[in-house]
Amino acid sequence: MKDNRFKVVIAEPNDGMDDTFQVLIDRGYEVVVGPPVSCADQGYSEEELIELCKDADAFFGMSRETITSRVIENCPDLRVICKYGTGVNNIDLAAASRQGVIVANAPVHNLTVAEYAIASMLALLKKIPYNMAHLRNGGWRDPSTTNHEIYGKTVGILGFGRIGKQVARRLAGWDVHLVTYDPIITREDAALFGAELVSWEELFSRSDIVTVHLPLMESTMGIIGKKEFEMMKETALLVNDARGALINQEDLIDALTNKKIAGAAIDVFVTEGLAPDYPLLHMDNVILTPHTAGYAEEGLRRIAVQATANCLAALEGEVPEFVANRDVIPKWKERFAKK
Confidence at residue 1, expressed as pLDDT on a 0 to 100 scale: 42
Question: Which tens digit of pLDDT belongs to each residue from 74-100?
Answer: 999 999 999 998 889 899 999 999 999
- State the amino acid at position 328 in one-letter form: V
* Cα separation, 157 vs 165, whole angstroms: 9
Q: What is the dihedral of CA 201, 207, 208, 214, to 10 degrees?
A: -80
Known catalytic residue at 70: no
Helix (H, G, I), strand (E, B) or coil at 157: strand
DSSP state of 18: G
Confidence at residue 4, expressed as pLDDT on a 0 to 100 scale: 62
Domains of the chain, residue spans: 7-108+296-336, 110-288
* Cα separation, 313 vs 278, whole angstroms: 44
How does the average pLDDT of the chain come out, rounded?
A: 94
Q: Per the residue annotation, which of 70, 170, 291, 301 is the catalytic one?
A: 291
Of 167 and 45, which is predicted with more confidence?
Answer: 167
Known catalytic residue at 134: no
Domain 110-288 CATH superfamily: NAD(P)-binding Rossmann-like Domain (3.40.50.720)
Q: Per the residue annotation, which of 79, 206, 213, 243 is the catalytic one?
A: 243
Confidence at residue 222, expressed as pLDDT on a 0 to 100 scale: 97
Domain 7-108+296-336 CATH superfamily: NAD(P)-binding Rossmann-like Domain (3.40.50.720)
* Cα separation, 192 vs 189, whole angstroms: 5
pLDDT higher than threshold 50 for residue 50: yes
Assess whether the region 7-108+296-336 and the region 110-288 belong to the same CATH fold: yes
Question: Which tens digit of pLDDT belongs to each residue from 13-22?
Answer: 888 999 999 9
Q: What Cα–Cα distance (Å) separates residue 233 from each residue in 107, 229, 264, 290?
A: 33, 8, 13, 27
**CA gyration radius, the chain:** 22
Known catalytic residue at 243: yes
Instruction: State the pTM of this model.
Output: 0.87
Contact assessment for residue 324 and residue 104, using Cβ atoms and an 8 Å cutoff: yes
* Cα separation, 131 vs 135, whole angstroms: 6
Nearest CA to 54 out of 103, 7, 105, 3 is that of: 7
Q: Per the residue annotation, which of 272, 297, 298, 316 is the catalytic one?
A: 272
pLDDT higher than threshold 70 for residue 339: no
Model confidence at 139, pLDDT cuts 50, 70, 90, reads very high
Question: Which tens digit of pLDDT belongs to each residue from 177-195?
Answer: 999 999 999 999 999 999 9
